[in-house]
């Protein structure tokens, strides 16, 4: 790792000021993507601004129709929250399926969502649950937030403060993991909302990162069952292909995981 200077601001204003006034700054949260990146010298920020001590980024609140999670909430804390589990069990299960125990003790929902790794879990929940991203300066609907691999609507220096999920009528999450890395090779988050809208979000597979599978949503709107998806396929040219799985295999997995999510509503199905 190249030399860097660490900062631990206690307020949002202080963090943004540090960012604006520093040469080559980077925000740091749980660090479980950023620190390995720094160790590989793939990035070399001169200043690391740790966001975990800012009070606005902590806490979990559940209302009648929303689950609001602070950006610094660790995966293990989200997974262990009885309130989250009661409101959106698929979201709770998703958090408990990220990485491994030690990773979940450090990694944060804000870090994952700000990084937008194409194989990350949370982006699928954010998109399917029609979440609103609250930052230090505005609110961003999930539909406008994800903009491709590792790319989001966040401006330089903008801080993801909390994520507000809509509580659906029911939701399910199914994931097929790479057996070595435990990252998803294809995962589907399916939600049926109280207004009747169905949202299918796919992560781990698309060559532009997380996306909504509109064709699946249309079939599920007509008939909300796994049978409705029989025969539906997705174009392999939209899929990532790499040493772990070629694009046509990922396309197949997307269809299977979407069916499994529908078959496991109210929970998760992790392979």
Partner 1 sequence: MSRITIAVNGTPQTREVEDRTLLVQFIREHLGLTGTHVGCDTSQCGACTIHLDGVAVKSCTVLAVAADGSQVTTIEGLAEGGRLHDVQQAFREHHGLQCGYCTPGMIMASVDMIRRHDGMLDEHTVRHELEGNICRCTGYHNIVKAVLDAAEKHRAAHAVAAE
Kindly give, in sequence order, each residue whose CB lies less than 8 Å from that of residue 109, ignoring residues fewer than 6 positions away.
Answer: 69, 70, 71, 73, 75, 78, 95, 122, 163
Our CB check for partner 1 shows the closer of 6 and 64 to be: 6
In the complex, which residues of this chain contact partner 1 (CB under 8 A)? Answer: 1-6, 8, 28, 31-32, 35-36, 38-39, 48, 50, 52, 76, 99-103, 105-106, 181-182
Distance of closest approach, residue 206 Cβ to partner 1, in angstroms: 25
CB of 124 to partner 1, least distance (A): 21
Task: Between 103 and 153, name the residue whose CB sits nearer to partner 1.
Answer: 103
Buried b (16+ CB within 10 A) or exposed e, 154-170: beebbbbbbbbbbbbeb
The nearer residue to partner 1, 23 or 227, going by C-beta atoms, is 23
Q: How far apart are CA 70 and CA 62, in angstroms?
A: 12
Q: Which of 6, 52, 1, 60 is nearest to 30 (CA)?
A: 52
Query: Cα 248–178–28 angle (5° rounding)?
Result: 115
Token digits of residue 6? 């660490």
Q: Which is nearer to partner 1, 234 or 270 (CB)?
A: 270
Q: How far is the CB of 98 from partner 1 (least distance, A)?
A: 11
Q: Where in 4-145 does DSSP place strands (E)?
A: 5-7, 25-28, 47-50, 60-62, 66-70, 132-135, 139-141
1 vs 13, beta carbon nearer partner 1: 1
Closest contact distance (angstroms) between CB of 144 and partner 1 is 32
Nearer to partner 1, 178 or 207 (CB): 178
Provide the minimum distance between the beta carbon of 106 and partner 1 in the complex, in angstroms, as a whole number.
Answer: 5
Smallest gap from residue 6 Cβ to partner 1 (A): 4
């Amino acid at each position: 790792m190249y030399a860097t200077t660490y900062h631990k601001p206690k307020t949002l204003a202080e963090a943004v000021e540090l960012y604006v006034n520093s040469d080559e700054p980077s925000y740091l949260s749980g660090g479980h993507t950023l620190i390995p990146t720094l160790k590989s010298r793939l990035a070399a920020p001169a200043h690391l601004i740790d966001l975990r001590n800012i009070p606005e980024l902590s806490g979990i609140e559940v209302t009648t129709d929303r689950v609001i999670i602070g950006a610094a909430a660790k995966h293990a804390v989200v997974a262990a929250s009885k309130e989250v589990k009661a409101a959106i069990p698929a979201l709770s299960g998703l958090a408990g399926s990220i990485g491994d125990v030690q990773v979940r003790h450090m990694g944060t929902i804000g870090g994952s969502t700000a990084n937008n790794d194409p194989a990350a879990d949370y982006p699928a929940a954010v998109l399917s649950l029609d979440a609103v991203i609250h930052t230090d300066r505005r609110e961003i609907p999930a539909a406008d937030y994800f903009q491709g691999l590792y790319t989001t609507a966040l401006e330089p220096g903008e801080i993801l403060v909390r994520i507000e999920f809509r509580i659906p009528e029911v939701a399910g999450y199914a994931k097929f993991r790479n057996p070595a890395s435990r990252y998803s090779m294809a995962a589907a988050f399916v939600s049926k909302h109280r207004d009747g809208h169905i949202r299918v979000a796919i992560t781990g597979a698309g060559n532009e990162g997380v996306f909504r599978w509109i064709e699946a949503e249309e079939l599920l709107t007509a008939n909300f069952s796994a049978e409705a998806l029989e025969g539906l396929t997705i174009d392999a040219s939209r899929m990532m292909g790499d040493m772990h799985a070629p694009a046509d295999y990922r396309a197949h997995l997307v269809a299977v995981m979407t069916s499994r999510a529908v078959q496991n509503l109210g929970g998760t199905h992790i392979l």
